[in-house]
Amino acid sequence: MELSHVTFGYPGRMIFRDLSLALKPGEPVAMMGPSGCGKTTLLRLMAGLERPLSGTVCGIPPEGVSMVFQENRLVPSLTVLENLALVSPRSRREELLALLAPLGLAAEGDSLPSALSGGMARRVAIARAAALGSSLLLLDEPFTGLDPENRQRAAAFLRERFAGARVAAVVHHREEADLLGARIVGAGTFCGRSGEP
């Protein structure tokens, strides 16, 4: 995944100017910085949800991107397992259950998202990212709503499942970056500038 000389903004508001940034396999990057400085926008550019005004974004994997959005974005009419099967239609039920168990969700396979607590739904969103198992993982505040024990669990799960992947995360605290084993990229690197992490 590589952004080179990317300029992006909305009418009247420039967010990035000439930003260059590369993600390397097995070297997770965590982006920290004040809100509104474009961290989520940067993830959206990497996911192909936004197009740069100039410059290029390369390396979006053809199989899709394992992305944990700021919101869980689970399909409310489908059960937890069906939500996972949606992104990985060829996986067997047992394979998908094996993604839920390490996150403490083994009993929730047939539950609808509306029956889950906020923390459980967050973990399902994380399991869904693993169900696709893309070589690019994008995490937007992945630990929101998780208690310390579940943060540890989720982080260990992600580190194991995406060991050799390109990973970028938006986090609020240094500890969250540490949990992911990610190198912190501060606001100075990407807010309106260019950087080379």
Which residues contact other proteins by CB under 8 A? 47-49, 62-67, 69, 71, 73, 75-78, 86-87, 89, 128, 132
- C-beta of 72 vs 150, nearer to other proteins: 72
Minimum CB–partner distance for residue 119 and other proteins (Å)? 19
Amino acid at 113: P
Taking each continuous run of H as one helix and of E as one strand, the counts in the chain are 7, 8
In terms of Cα–Cα distance, which of 68, 74, 133, 146 is closest to 99?
A: 133
- C-beta of 27 vs 63, nearer to other proteins: 63
- C-beta of 63 vs 147, nearer to other proteins: 63
Minimum CB–partner distance for residue 3 and other proteins (Å)? 17
Query: Are the C-beta atoms of residues 160 and 103 closer than 8 Å to each other?
Result: no
- C-beta of 78 vs 187, nearer to other proteins: 78
What secondary structure does DSSP assign to 154-186, as a single string?
A: HHHHHHHHTTTSEEEEE-SSHHHHHHTTPEEE-
Minimum CB–partner distance for residue 125 and other proteins (Å)? 9
Would you report the helix, strand and coil content of the chain in percent, each value rounded to 5?
Answer: 35, 25, 40
Minimum CB–partner distance for residue 128 and other proteins (Å)? 8
Q: What SS3 class is residue 50?
A: coil
